Amino acid sequence: MSYYLPPEWAEQSAVMLTWPHENSQWFPSLQAVEKSFIAIAKAVTQYEALIVSCLNVAHLSHVKSVLLSEHIDLSNVYLYIAASNDVWARDHGPLTIIKEGKLQLLDFKFNGWGNKYPSDLDDQITRLLYQQEAFPNALIESIDYVLEGGSVEVDGKGTLMTTESCLLSKQRNAGYGKNAIEILLKKYLGVDRILWLEHGYLAGDDTDGHIDTLARFTDPNTIAYVHCDDPEDEHFIELSQMADELKAFRNAQGEPYRLIPLPWPAAKYAEEGRRLPATYANFLIINGAVLMPVYDDPSDEKALSQIKICFPDRHIIPIPCRHLIEQYGSLHCVTMQIPAVP
């Protein structure tokens, strides 16, 4: 097709972050969670530009001061004011296609994962950044349909992978059945094949099963996925059924995918007892590197080595994300890459 959504391993121009602030649910643990954002910023700016959304002038000044104190090269950082409800740039940021040799931002609606959380400010961030010329020479299109970046995975060869639990949720797009959703995805994202997962979930996840917490393309023929090997764990049956589905999937040439299982971390819990969605599938691919979430868990090293199998030519950078999952998301969830024009 004349346009397509690049896979994450394609060349990028920048990564977006929406910095946490005190007017959000992060307030009690703001200093702790900022350490994760600092680690992400430090890693990204070694390879490409960083676009940061700040709440207001005072917050922008604070973020700049924090980055300087950590000796992060500000020549590769672009700070903008765009008020936010929360930090999940993967879902309120744009999906960016390459169309006729230019970037085109697709500004889908964001409604807080089916009206679970306030999202009015987040839903405006892409437009506000565009108005401030955060995306030079890009075009933009607003689409009256709810779609979150964490809910879709593409291989750059016409295949999209997603979950039924999320995209068929009536709290997002009432009146859209599976066929209508497939038509829309093909129309806007330039894909011609859709792989639907019926199984797979993480306790504590409130996205209704985003694909980026479960299974990820690492190249057009490889999928890394969360694997539960504990028969006593509540996830064991569901994730085993998901693994069977992945084994049955075929690539565009009709061949089975190479499947790379990611280890299962020990259960993590919030103070009130709710289980947290710790997943190693929530990694971020950038130019020359892969940022990998770690949770101060014995399985961290195994996860890093498994991802290295998928990306032998990229640096694998661990990012502490134990505090991030306190609000039920991880590394990939707080970032959104902006592709480069080939």
| Nearest C-alpha neighbor of 221 from the set 261, 255, 247 | 255
Encoded tokens for 159: 């295949």
Encoded tokens for 33: 């969670």
How does strand 289-294 pair with strand 315-320?
A: parallel
CA of 287: how far to CAs of 224, 313, 328, in Å?
19, 11, 27
The predicted structure's pLDDT at residue 1? 62
Looking up tokens 């999940």 gives 88
Bridge partner list, 292: 318
Backbone angles phi, psi at 61, to 5 degrees: -65, -40
Q: What is the DSSP letter of 199?
A: -
**From the first residue on, what is the mean pLDDT of each consecutive set of 10 residues in the chain (342 residues)?**
92 98 93 97 98 98 98 96 98 97 97 97 98 96 98 97 97 95 98 98 96 98 97 97 98 96 96 94 98 98 98 98 96 98 86
* Dist. CA 238–CA 244, nearest whole Å: 10
Q: Residue 266 sits in a domain of what CATH number?
A: 3.75.10.10
Q: Positive or negative CA dihedral for 30, 36, 39, 43?
A: negative
Q: Which helix (H) or strand (E) holds 219?
A: strand 215-219
Question: 166, 208 in Cβ contact below 8 A?
Answer: yes
Bridge partner list, 291: 284, 317
Backbone angles phi, psi at 139, to 5 degrees: -100, 170
Q: List Cβ neighbours of 222 (8 Å cut-off, separation of 6 or more).
A: 257, 258, 259, 260, 310
Encoded tokens for 112: 């807080």
Containing domain of residue 282, as a range?
3-339
Query: How deeply is 267 buried, as exposed, middle or buried, from its count of CB atoms within 10 A (0-12, 13-18, 19+)?
Result: middle
The number of beta carbons lying within 10 Å of the beta carbon of residue 70 is: 12
| Sheet hosting strand 315-320, strand order edge to edge | 284-286, 289-294, 315-320
Q: Which helix (H) or strand (E) holds 305?
A: helix 300-310
Looking up tokens 């959703």 gives 181
Q: Which helix (H) or strand (E) holds 160?
A: strand 159-163
| Nearest C-alpha neighbor of 277 from the set 122, 109, 150 | 150
How many independent structural domains does the chain possess? Answer: 1
**Dmax over Cα atoms in the chain, in whole Å?**
55
Strand, helix or coil at 22? Answer: coil
How much is the pTM? 0.97
